[in-house]
Structure 1
Amino acid sequence: MKRPVWLFAAAVLAALLQIGFLAWMINARAAILRDGREVLLKVQPVDPRDLLRGDYVRLGYNISALPKTLLETGPDEAELARDATVWLRVRRGEDGIFAPVSLRLRAEAPALAEEEADIRGRVRSGWQEITGTILVDYGIERFYLPEGEGRAIEADMRERSFFMIVAVGDDGQAQIKAFLDGDQRLYEEPLY
């Protein structure tokens, strides 16, 4: 029995669309790593193990818990609800570490200075009225490590400073670029 030519063409088109979509996703991440603005953040460990995916370091950053005073407008509980998108302006300090400057609920912002970057994040749990802080995730809170290295690095993090170099795209999306133990690069993410 002969199959129609259009059925074969549709299958080829579907396969090409899937391959194209995967290539687009991979290239989008690589473009941020290659061309994004580098931001150095100080990290703190949270948890080093995932039973299904292996060792990782769950990280908090010096930009994860923000005082509500950083908001450019007064906090509106409805706008700062869980999963709300926010943009954090960070600036390089004298020590090279980027620190928070202001927090916005809208993407529009004044032009960036050379030592600044805007990082897009999501509010983790709304703002905490008691502590006056806003908890934000940036999609860079997990870093996977080679098998057996998570616990040792977590122990080391409690004794000395570790840092993460993060590449930030023009749209504010952040990608982990390198993991540092002081000045020494432990791991660097490949482009592809």
Structure 2
Amino acid sequence: MTGKRLIISALVLALVQIGFLSWIIAGRAAILRDGKEVLLKVEPIDPRDLLRGDYIRLGYDISRIPVKLIANIPADKLSSDDTSIVVRLKKGADGYWQPTAAWFAQAPTPAASDEADIVGHVGEGWSLREEGGSIAPDYGIERFYLPEGEGMAIQNDMRVRPFAVRVAIAANGTPQIKALMDGDKTLFEEPLY
């Protein structure tokens, strides 16, 4: 009797784990398939992860948000305290999306059809009272993994000509990188699954 229970317990545990992994993969695929697509200009940052392989670290125009764009800073708040931030983006004349406003926690109104809200995370310690100051949100799209041997070449090219990423943003503001672009040319595209 205990042998049967052990087998049944192991099967149930395996099904739960498979279900959880499937849920994570399906969620990512849903963002890539259905999310609002924006184009962000890339700023090069030094790559390399000896344990994980080639990747490029990505910085964006939206990686530094001027404090003056944050609409809901309480009067007594001097620094950020490990919180989420919503950054409203709007497409510029050059085709790249730029920040137009930001809010801690959530936006007071939904984004218009020609705008997109991306959710990031701000670590502790950023000053919110510096004149001309900025904060640096982490959006979870700061790394893009590449086939082995491709990272350094692309990183070097990023220093001499414009690169961008196409990003899909879910309705809740969660971003996923869809593709790495070299000008108008798609270099690498993320598969749905």
Determine the structure 2 residue equivalent to 1:103. 102
Determine the structure 1 residue equivalent to 2:64. 65
Is the deviation greater in 3-12 or in 114-123?
A: 3-12
Determine the structure 1 residue equivalent to 2:162. 161
CA distance in 1 between partners of 2:132 and 2:120 (Å): 20
CA distance in 1 between partners of 2:5 and 2:73 (Å): 59
Q: Is the 8 A contact 2:85 2:105 kept in 1?
A: yes
Aligned counterparts, 1:1-192, within 5 A: 3-74=2-73, 76-77=77-78, 80-81=80-81, 83-128=82-127, 129=130, 132-192=133-193
Paired residue type of 1:66: I
Q: Is the 8 A contact 1:89 1:101 kept in 2?
A: yes
**Deviations along 1:35-73, whole A, 9 cap, x unmatched?**
000010001111121111111110110100111000112
C-alpha RMSD of matched pairs (Å): 1.6
Structure (1 or 2) with the greater strand fraction? 1
Work out the number of aligned pairs and report it. Answer: 189
Partner of 1:94, secondary structure, is coil
Structure 1, unaligned runs of 5 or more: none
Normalising to structure 2: TM-score of the pair?
A: 0.92
CA distance in 1 between partners of 2:175 and 2:135 (Å): 19
Percent pairwise identity: 53
1:131 Cα deviation (Å)? 5.1
1:4 Cα deviation (Å)? 4.3
